[in-house]
C-alpha cells in the first residue's frame, strides 16, 4: 500500500533525514499559485526573502533539474544543483542546503515550509547554530513579499 504526501510533508521527511535541520512552516492567506510564483522565482524573489542571499543566478535548467550560482550578502559563493518543480525546491551545494515547499491548505491559503543551512562537509548534516532564527526571518520576509505581490 502506498500513501500520497504533499510537498510540505515531503520536505519534513527530507529534513528529518538531515541531522541539525530545522523546518519553518506557516500558512499564508494566498492561493498556492501566487505563493509559489514568489518562492520559485530564484533569480528575482529568492534573494528578497532569504536574509543571507544577495542573489541567485540560474545557470542551467534541464526539465526539473536546476543548476545555480548564489552569492551571499557576505560575498560568499555557492554552486547549487537540485530540483525545482511546482510546489517543491531542493538545492544543495558543497556547503549549503535549501529546501522550499508549498501546498494548498484545507480551508484556504497555502502552507509553506522552508529548511536550509550550512552543511557539514562529507556528512548529511546542517550546523544548527542560527538556523531557526534565519528560517523565521525568511518566512516573515516571504509572507511580506507574497502580500506585496497580491496587492
Q: What contacts 16, CB < 8 A, 6 or more positions away?
A: none
| pLDDT on residue 122 | 67
Q: What contacts 125, CB < 8 A, 6 or more positions away?
A: 18, 19, 20, 119
Task: Tell me which CATH homologous superfamily contains domain 7-150.
Answer: START domain (3.30.530.20)
As a whole number of angstroms, the distance between CA 10 and CA 15 comes to 9
| pLDDT on residue 125 | 60
Question: Along the 151 residues of the chain, how does pLDDT read in single tens digits?
Answer: 777 899 999 999 999 888 888 899 999 999 999 999 999 999 999 989 988 888 899 999 999 999 999 998 888 899 999 999 999 999 999 888 899 999 999 999 999 999 988 776 666 666 665 677 888 999 999 999 999 987 7
Amino acid at each position: 500500500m502506498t500513501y500520497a504526501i504533499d510537498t510540505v510533508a515531503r520536505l519534513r521527511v527530507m529534513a528529518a533525514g538531515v541531522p541539525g535541520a530545522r523546518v519553518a512552516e506557516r500558512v499564508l492567506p494566498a492561493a498556492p499559485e501566487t505563493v509559489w510564483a514568489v518562492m520559485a522565482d530564484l533569480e528575482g524573489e529568492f534573494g528578497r526573502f532569504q536574509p543571507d542571499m544577495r542573489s541567485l543566478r540560474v545557470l542551467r535548467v534541464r526539465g526539473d533539474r536546476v543548476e545555480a550560482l548564489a552569492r551571499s550578502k557576505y560575498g560568499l559563493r555557492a554552486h547549487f544543483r537540485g530540483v525545482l518543480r511546482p510546489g517543491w525546491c531542493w538545492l544543495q551545494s558543497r556547503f549549503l542546503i535549501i529546501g522550499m515547499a508549498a501546498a494548498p491548505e484545507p480551508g484556504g491559503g497555502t502552507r509553506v515550509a522552508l529548511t536550509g543551512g550550512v552543511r557539514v562537509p562529507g556528512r548529511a548534516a546542517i550546523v544548527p547554530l542560527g538556523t531557526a532564527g534565519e528560517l523565521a526571518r525568511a518566512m516573515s520576509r516571504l509572507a511580506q513579499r507574497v502580500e506585496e505581490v497580491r496587492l
